[in-house]
Structure formats: structure tokens, C-alpha cells
Amino acid sequence: EKRIVPYDIIGEETLNKLVDAFYYRVARHPDLIPIFPEDLSEVARKQKQFLTQFLGGPTLYSNEHGHPMMRARHLPHEITPKRAKAWLSCMSAAMDEVKLEGPIREQFFSRLVLTAQHMVNTPDTTK
Ligand code: HEM
């Protein structure tokens, strides 16, 4: 029995389009602008590598950067629940744009919800 590899279903081309559509939105989201660099090309390149292996494809991210340790890598940035919500809304809109639909999208997105929640390291404030 061969396991289903989401990366094989989604494919490199759609994944790359997804990441580009995602960072286009991140760059324009008022809650996210303050913590991201102006030039998003390097983080987009790393995200393509990361999501490739997250979806069961080749381990591009680890080959170049070592163990993902995503929570640790996000600690220098203030990730609030509000920002996690903003991140996920950009991703959902990007999935709409590239027409990623059906169970493959639902499964992928659910895993991203869990990962995003895990990245939260700062409470929302009322100030
Ligand atoms: C890097 C924000 C969730 C994957 C970053 C950076 C920021 C950030 C500010 C650093 C950009 C830079 O200066 O280079 C956020 C926020 C999130 C979130 C606000 C909301 C919860 C996620 C999730 C994933 C992810 C869910 C994976 C599924 C990455 C990757 C990098 C990164 C792969 C590059 C790490 C590296 O430098 O090697 N993120 N992130 N992030 N993020 Fe997130």
C-alpha cells in the first residue's frame, strides 16, 4: 500500500503559485506588515522549501537550513493570536486564488491552523 503524498497531488507549480499569492497578501496585511521584512523574496523561497517537505515532498528546507524548529525560529517575532488569524486568512485567500479545493485543501489548511496556533508566542494586547 502506497501512502498518499499531498505534495504529489498539489504539485510544485501550484505550491509555488500559492506561496507567491500568500506573500502578496502578507505584504499588504496591516497586522503582518510590522513584523515582516520589506523584501519577502527570501522568506517566500524558504516557505516554498518548507511547505514542500511539510506536504511530504523532498526535504528541501532541512537540506539547506537544518531541523525546521519552526516555533523556535519564530520566537524573535511577536506572533499574537491576532497575527496567527491574519496569517491564516492570507493563506485561505491564496488557496482560493490558486483554486486549491476539496479534501486536499481542507487537510492542508487544518494542519496549517495547528501549526499557526503552535507559533503563537505573545498574547494579544488591548493597547
Ligand atoms: C518566517 C511570521 C506562521 C513558516 C517567518 C518570519 C516571520 C513570520 C515574521 C520571519 C521573516 C524574516 O524576517 O525572514 C509568521 C506569523 C505566523 C507564522 C505571524 C502566524 C502564525 C507560520 C507557519 C508556517 C511558517 C504556520 C509553516 C507552515 C515560516 C518559514 C519561515 C518563516 C518556513 C522562514 C524560516 C527561516 O528563516 O528559515 N514567519 N509566521 N510560519 N515562517 Fe512564519
Kindly state whether residue 127 falls inside one of the protein's structural domains: no
Q: Which of 37, 58, 51, 64 is nearest to 115 (CA)?
A: 51
Global ipTM: 0.98
Kindly state whether residue 96 falls inside one of the protein's structural domains: yes
Residue 87 Cβ < 6 Å to ligand 1: yes
Residue 74 Cβ < 6 Å to ligand 1: yes
Kindly state whether residue 126 falls inside one of the protein's structural domains: no
Residue range 2-50, pLDDT digits in tens: 888 999 999 999 999 999 999 999 999 999 999 999 999 999 999 999 9
> How many structural domains is the chain composed of?
1
Q: 52 — phi, psi (to 5°)?
A: -55, -50
Residue range 73-126, pLDDT digits in tens: 999 999 999 999 999 999 999 999 999 999 999 999 999 999 999 999 999 986
Cα-to-centroid distance, 114 and ligand 1 (Å): 14
Query: What letter represents residue 87's amino acid?
Result: W
Arithmetic mean of pLDDT, 50-74: 98
Kindly state whether residue 55 falls inside one of the protein's structural domains: yes
Residue 24 Cβ < 6 Å to ligand 1: no
Kindly state whether residue 125 falls inside one of the protein's structural domains: no
CATH number assigned to the domain comprising residue 41: 1.10.490.10
For residue 127, what pLDDT is reported? Answer: 61
Predicted TM-score of the model (pTM):
0.97
Structural domain span for residue 39: 6-119
Ligand 1 closest atom vs CA 65: 38
Cα-to-centroid distance, 30 and ligand 1 (Å): 16
Kindly state whether residue 17 falls inside one of the protein's structural domains: yes
Distant-in-sequence contacts of 83-92, Cβ < 8 A, 24+ apart? 83/31, 83/32, 83/35, 84/116, 84/117, 84/119, 84/120, 86/29, 86/31, 86/32, 87/26, 87/32, 87/116, 88/112, 88/113, 88/116, 89/29, 90/22, 90/25, 90/26, 90/29, 90/32, 91/22
Residue 65 Cβ < 6 Å to ligand 1: yes
Cα-to-centroid distance, 89 and ligand 1 (Å): 14
For residue 3, what pLDDT is reported? Answer: 86
Residue 84 Cβ < 6 Å to ligand 1: yes
Full DSSP string of 54-96 = HTTS--HHHHHH-S--HHHHHTTS---HHHHHHHHHHHHHHHH
For residue 108, what pLDDT is reported? Answer: 98
Kindly state whether residue 51 falls inside one of the protein's structural domains: yes
Kindly state whether residue 1 falls inside one of the protein's structural domains: no
Which are the contacts of 8, defined by CB distance < 8 A and separation ≥ 6?
A: 56, 57
